[in-house]
Structure 1
Amino acid sequence: MKVLVLCALVAAAAAWPNYGFLNDPGRSEPSDAQKQHDVNYLLYKVYENIRDEKLKSIGVTFDPEADTSHYTDNGEAVHKLVKELKDNRLLQQKHWFSLFNTRQREEALLLYDVFEHSKDWKTFVSNAAYFRNRVNEGEFVYALYAAVVHSPLTKHVVLPPLYEVTPHLFTNSEVIQKAYHAKMTQTPGKFRSYFTGSKRNKEQRVAYFGEDVGLNTHHVTWHLEFPFWWEDKHEGYHLDRKGENFFWVHHQLTVRFDAERLSNHLDPVNELHWEATIEEGFAPHTTYKYGGEFPSRPDNIHFEDVDGIAHIRDLIILENRIRDAIAHGYVTAHDGSTVDINNSHGIDVLGDVIESSTYSPNVEYYGSLHNTAHIVLGRQGDPHGKYDLPPGVLEHFETSTRDPAFFRLHKYMDNIFREHKDSLTPYTKEELEFSGVAIDGVSIDGPLETFFEDFEYSLVNAVDDTPQVADVAISTVVSRLNHKDFSFKIDVNNNNDHEVLATVRIFAWPHNDNNDIPYSFNEGRWRAIELDRFWRKLSPGVNHIVRKSTESAVTVPDVPSFDSLIERTEAALSAGSSEVDIHEFVSAVGVPNRFLIPKGNSEGLEFELVVAVTDGKADAAVESLHENTVFNHYGYHGVYPDNRPHGYPLDRRVDDARIFHDLSNFHQHTVKIYNH
């Protein structure tokens, strides 16, 4: 039924008349609803012709080079891209695309630059319609997603979920085959998806985490918001504390994965070693839409050099250089100067070095440990190109968390980060306390209880199309983790005679390790999962704070389905509205809200719940954070909101836990998370 509604909406969109602005230079920018409409149909059936007749016509008649006054760079980017197109140097259509492939990334960024240098929506959308017909589909999708994330022209546009735009990257091949059969026989179908592997594979117990399409969306969206290729001089602004954000987002994925493993009676994941065996193999059970199957990796193999990418010895050398920098307390910049990392800002520099991003002070010397490691690990199924296999799952941000080796790789890098963090001087009591503020009590209203539920998403974009064959409803259903709603109730006493701004920080870490031995405070705090961070004004006296789990600043709601976005947008346009009521979905950077707490188990898995209330005035990097309504956990428009490091006050080693337990603004108690 959804597809029938969608077909009707597509037909209505084809007749939609509101495109006068494309031929009228004096007309104002179109509404947000119109922009949403355009993005929807630029991404719908991306391997086929554009379904919107107006956009389709623009794609045929538009000349990108005709009037360069509509570009902020006077057409430099578009001239460069068109020349590559005319010289037949661009990747052909219907071919796999990987951001880790240097040439393919360069081509995608050529198109991204055209979008970013478009002065107005007319120029932006016309270029999108024109190049959609001419460049590789994967490059087009990446360039458009990145541009929508960063362009001021698309501030209120919501991107449809990638798992419905490019379903092949997220859906098992067996289900995709059933979808094709349903389309060919014109029989609507709803097919059950199962996680990769079998019950003989213990990693299957936590596949619901790494293969969750919402988690995949979080991972790829973060890398779109904070891309390693970002250059300030080209993009116009700086991404504040990007390297530290890189550390924190992957640290949180790693400690959360370990918590899921404990919930399922598995040992924490072991870090990867370049000279050791890769014990766990991986069979993705996924296929590129064009280009063959994702490569598999057998069990118990040793790392091999990857032709044209890296020697294993080179990665070991890069690791040693980074560890030497940590030991010395500084990195050596490209010009020979030194950059001190023996401070709170050091984690930011180190993150840029390890990734490496263009912010790295010396990429020639420290290399690109993270990005190269992803390629090397992803190619171990065919390291010498003997079988001409396409890239592995680790060479796509959309798919990399599917492979358990992703978490081994990031445990390895996380331990390097910890080496740096543990080298810093622990916080003193004076640095941690909040004068005159005390936590009187913390409780939880509602059960800490998780459950599995069915989630359905569309596969209409997975199958080939032809005007002679109508769409039918095709979808897949997969099990996913969720939790019941709950609230934190925190009583804070402000003993000052004036109002103060406070930062409330909430964490949880497993009480026991895999051997049922309690974690020490120092070991537990490194495994802390950040549950929330928010600002409140505290009046003199007792303040009763109630914070709902749905309000967490760490999480975001699930992205609406593609057909829901289209339906809402067309309804708004038909009603003459300039806006679509989808503002809460503008950011998909956070972890899905249903993943706020780990799975737990039927007996109740114990966690240490920690609440710290710190000085909000000293913490805040921007004003009015207590009134914030946008997702800014990693920064908003390049501005990071918190003066404190990610994970504060638990980010540095703790030699004596009594320093925390003696703080009036710190609270800790044990809770249990149940799964039924």
Structure 2
Amino acid sequence: MARQTQWQLRQRFLMDLLLQVHKPLLQQELIEMGSRLNENPSDYEADSWPSLIDFMERVHQGRILRPYSIYSQLQEELPQQLLGVYRFLLLAKDWRTFQCNACYARSHFNPVLFVNALQLAISGRPDTKDLVLPAMHEVLPQLYFDKDVILDAQQVNWQQLAPIPNITLKRSWKEILGDIVYPRRFRQPLEVPVLPAEPIVIEVKPLRTLLSSDVELNGYWNSLISRLLITRNEQGTAIIDGDRMMAFRNAHDEYMYRLENGRAAKPEHPQILLHNIKQFVALCELEELTTGHKSLQLIEPTLMTTGGVRYKATKLNGLDVWLLIRQSTEELQSQIDKQLEKAVETPTMETVGQVIATNYWQLFRHLSLAINGNCTMEPNLLGMATSNLRDPIYRTMLFQLAQLIARYERPQVSAYDNQQVQQIHVGNLTTYEHLVDSDLINLMDQQLLQTQRNNLQFLQRRLVARQLRLNHKPFNITYELYASEPMVVLIRSYLIPPGRDQAGLLIESFVSELAMGKNILVRQFPMAKSVHTLRKLYEAKKPLDSSNACSFPQHLLLPRGTAEGLRLQLLVQVLAWNGSETIAECEWAGSVVDSTAPVLTSARVDVVIHHHSLKLKD
């Protein structure tokens, strides 16, 4: 047997941690690694210990969410708890310390809190950046799939997935004597039945591709909000000694200053939040054009928590909710206007993003308290980022925030006419539906799946949830641009309903160096790949490509078309680019960061999106 590489061992460790993450650890090695809280300052990054003191105190006081408790992102202390667990994992000095801390957090804290912190810490550590976490709807399927799917999966027996040797109860005296006399290698092997290769399938009903119920989108949104909560609380510890060219008060101040400077090099999280709000609203509006149904209609809360507690439905009537939302957005607008008066030299959209991001958590917390009361034992859709998009109240609030953002967006038009879009060619745009399977192995009976080891290797069949997923066929966009002089530009492309002037669904945003004269840029868009399943990651022998964590899942690049063709327009904007880098960490980072870039030229072209529906047998 080939020796496992370091990557395989580390990847396998993460997978073992996430197996049955909502249940206690049973693997003895992992239990021992997480048996004690590491309070040795030398085991953490230099000068980072002061930032962990609050977390350590909370652990000793029992103020970190425990297993089997109800997780709600709107609980008063949740942001500080999430930040504490995140730092506990992120700041571990080496891999061994990280392992022990991860096992401790896995054993002693709420599984949703642990998974959210782990997901963020993995991307921030140099020794874990090439590791891949499975899709969150496979790690905690209870938070993403309806209760009918969960209950059906829990009724599947181990014998349906793993072969059981056929043992004859009555044996002759000759057979018994043979077992004693003959060595083991001469005995007849036990007859093991061969199980069918097809997985046991639990269909997700109804089979339709609603944007708000998309499990990958809900998983991405959960990560986005977790990152926002952490950033919001980290900003409270930022210092300005370095900016004022003064001596740091202590080593911790210097450490936090460098941490903040490192973060500033990446796209600002407030601007990323604004971008995603606008993207979701644009997708919802285009979905309405396709289906003819309002995206704000109620989606029944047919979810359960990891502990089997059902979600609480909203009892407040629509008019009262609308008045609450209107009052909240008016107060937020007032705060933005006041801040704009103070920060005259700061770009408008940067200020808008900071105010919305800073007030986001309090905004939805106050809204939830007014609607659902101060009851943390009954989960609701507003309290979980994994289910936020299913809630019509939450979606209504996002629509209002998008309108508020649009009031402050005033694209600048450059006075220089040194750019011209000569022609735009768009390939055939076609969306389609296909069936995808998601591993539900985390819903198996724990005593059978885990003993003193991981028994996943004995399974011959998979247990999966099968659902429809929207996707698009490969296409390309060709830009023919004329430049009167060499220059670097930012190119944005949006899908918009005919006749609309405002930007809509951002398809792509990229930076390009143009030569003087005619330039032909060809951009290719392959169909979206499926996410890595739990089983695939367990069997992986080398690092796998992971999806871009900065943007919506790629299968939602295009809105769902229609059989006769959904008629839209592609709006192309060419903007001046003043950045120092032509390639950003996120493909659309330029669109987020450089919100004040003047538009050099723009053009639009008519497009049609067709859709091929999947014909299913009864």
Name the structure 2 match of 1:506: 493
- 505 and 352 in structure 1: CA distance in 2 versus 1, 3 angstrom threshold: same
Name the structure 1 match of 2:190: none
Q: Secondary structure at the match of 2:608?
A: strand
Per-residue deviation at 1:586?
Answer: 5.6
Per-residue deviation at 1:174?
Answer: 0.4
Name the structure 2 match of 1:452: 433
8 Å contact 1:156–1:586 — kept in the other structure?
no
Q: Secondary structure at the match of 1:391?
A: coil
The AA in structure 1 aligned to 2:464 is S
What does residue range 268-307 of structure 1 map to in structure 2 within 5 Å? 280-290=297-307, 292-297=309-314, 300-303=317-320
- 35 and 225 in structure 1: CA distance in 2 versus 1, 3 angstrom threshold: farther
Name the structure 2 match of 1:674: 610
Query: Of 600, 609, 620, which aligns to 2:570?
Result: 609
8 Å contact 2:301–2:313 — kept in the other structure?
yes
Inter-partner Cα distance in structure 2 for 1:37 and 1:55: 12
Name the structure 2 match of 1:588: 549
8 Å contact 2:143–2:386 — kept in the other structure?
yes
Q: Secondary structure at the match of 1:548?
A: strand
Inter-partner Cα distance in structure 2 for 1:525 and 1:119: 52
Query: Of 515, 521, 529, which aligns to 1:545?
Result: 521
Inter-partner Cα distance in structure 1 for 2:588 and 2:466: 31
Inter-partner Cα distance in structure 1 for 2:505 and 2:211: 15
Q: What CA deviation, in whole Å up to 9, does each residue of 1:287-310 have, x standing for no partner?
A: 1121510112358445479xxxxx
- 265 and 546 in structure 1: CA distance in 2 versus 1, 3 angstrom threshold: same
- 450 and 377 in structure 1: CA distance in 2 versus 1, 3 angstrom threshold: farther
Q: Secondary structure at the match of 2:526?
A: helix
Per-residue deviation at 1:167?
Answer: 0.5
2:516 matches 1:565 = no
Q: What CA deviation, in whole Å up to 9, does each residue of 1:598-617 have, x standing for no partner?
A: 112122111111223333xx
Name the structure 2 match of 1:655: none
What does residue range 345-424 of structure 1 map to in structure 2 within 5 Å? 345-355=347-357, 357=358, 368=359, 370-375=360-365, 378=368, 382-383=372-373, 385=375, 389-421=377-409, 424=410
Name the structure 2 match of 1:323: 333
How high is the TM-score relative to the length of structure 2?
Answer: 0.78
Inter-partner Cα distance in structure 2 for 1:375 and 1:557: 36
The AA in structure 2 aligned to 1:221 is S
The AA in structure 2 aligned to 1:405 is I
8 Å contact 2:328–2:363 — kept in the other structure?
no
Name the structure 1 match of 2:412: 427
Per-residue deviation at 1:75?
Answer: 4.1
Q: Kindly report the root-mean-square deviation, in angstroms, between the aligned alpha carbons of the 2 structures.
A: 3.4
Q: What CA deviation, in whole Å up to 9, does each residue of 1:514-559 have, x standing for no partner?
A: xxxxx3xxxx2335111111122233443222101139xxxx8553
8 Å contact 2:435–2:467 — kept in the other structure?
yes
8 Å contact 1:149–1:225 — kept in the other structure?
no
8 Å contact 2:202–2:466 — kept in the other structure?
yes
Q: What CA deviation, in whole Å up to 9, does each residue of 1:625-668 have, x standing for no partner?
A: 2xx5x435348xxxx9853449x74xxxxxxxxxxxxx7x4321
- 185 and 382 in structure 1: CA distance in 2 versus 1, 3 angstrom threshold: farther
8 Å contact 2:275–2:592 — kept in the other structure?
no
8 Å contact 1:281–1:299 — kept in the other structure?
no
Per-residue deviation at 1:189?
Answer: 2.4
Per-residue deviation at 1:194?
Answer: 1.9
The AA in structure 1 aligned to 2:432 is F
How high is the TM-score relative to the length of structure 1?
Answer: 0.72
Inter-partner Cα distance in structure 2 for 1:215 and 1:54: 35
Query: Of 425, 442, 459, which aligns to 1:443?
Result: 425
Q: Secondary structure at the match of 2:151?
A: helix
Q: What CA deviation, in whole Å up to 9, does each residue of 1:483-512 have, x standing for no partner?
A: 11100122223343xx4333222111011x
8 Å contact 2:20–2:442 — kept in the other structure?
yes
8 Å contact 2:95–2:127 — kept in the other structure?
yes
8 Å contact 1:69–1:75 — kept in the other structure?
no
Name the structure 1 match of 2:293: 266
The AA in structure 1 aligned to 2:518 is V
2:42 matches 1:68 = yes
8 Å contact 1:550–1:593 — kept in the other structure?
no
2:135 matches 1:133 = no
Name the structure 2 match of 1:483: 472
Q: What CA deviation, in whole Å up to 9, does each residue of 1:63-92 have, x standing for no partner?
A: 512563544346445565455444444433
Inter-partner Cα distance in structure 1 for 2:447 and 2:290: 47
- 73 and 40 in structure 1: CA distance in 2 versus 1, 3 angstrom threshold: farther
The AA in structure 1 aligned to 2:510 is F
- Choose 1 or 2 for highest CA Rg: 2
Per-residue deviation at 1:52?
Answer: 6.3
- 128 and 429 in structure 1: CA distance in 2 versus 1, 3 angstrom threshold: closer
Per-residue deviation at 1:587?
Answer: 3.1
Name the structure 2 match of 1:621: 579
Q: Secondary structure at the match of 1:610?
A: strand
Identical amino acids, percent of aligned pairs: 20
8 Å contact 2:89–2:101 — kept in the other structure?
yes
Name the structure 2 match of 1:652: none
Inter-partner Cα distance in structure 2 for 1:231 and 1:667: 41
Name the structure 2 match of 1:231: 234
Query: Of 594, 602, 611, which aligns to 1:643?
Result: 594
8 Å contact 1:257–1:407 — kept in the other structure?
no
Inter-partner Cα distance in structure 2 for 1:666 and 1:304: 40
Per-residue deviation at 1:565?
Answer: 1.8
Query: Of 244, 255, 267, which aligns to 2:282?
Result: 255
Name the structure 2 match of 1:536: 512
Give unpaired runs (5+ residues) of structure 2. 162-198, 239-255, 613-618
Q: What CA deviation, in whole Å up to 9, does each residue of 1:242-265 have, x standing for no partner?
A: 323222210111011111111112
Give unpaired runs (5+ residues) of structure 1. 1-11, 19-30, 197-204, 271-279, 306-311, 358-367, 512-518, 573-579, 650-662
- 80 and 230 in structure 1: CA distance in 2 versus 1, 3 angstrom threshold: closer
- 620 and 42 in structure 1: CA distance in 2 versus 1, 3 angstrom threshold: farther
Q: What CA deviation, in whole Å up to 9, does each residue of 1:19-41 have, x standing for no partner?
A: xxxxxxxxxxxx55544333222
Q: Identify which range, 253-262 or 138-147, moves more after superposition.
A: 138-147
Q: Secondary structure at the match of 2:15?
A: helix
- 281 and 594 in structure 1: CA distance in 2 versus 1, 3 angstrom threshold: closer
Inter-partner Cα distance in structure 2 for 1:612 and 1:222: 27
Q: Secondary structure at the match of 1:144?
A: helix
Q: Secondary structure at the match of 1:526?
A: coil
Name the structure 2 match of 1:192: 203
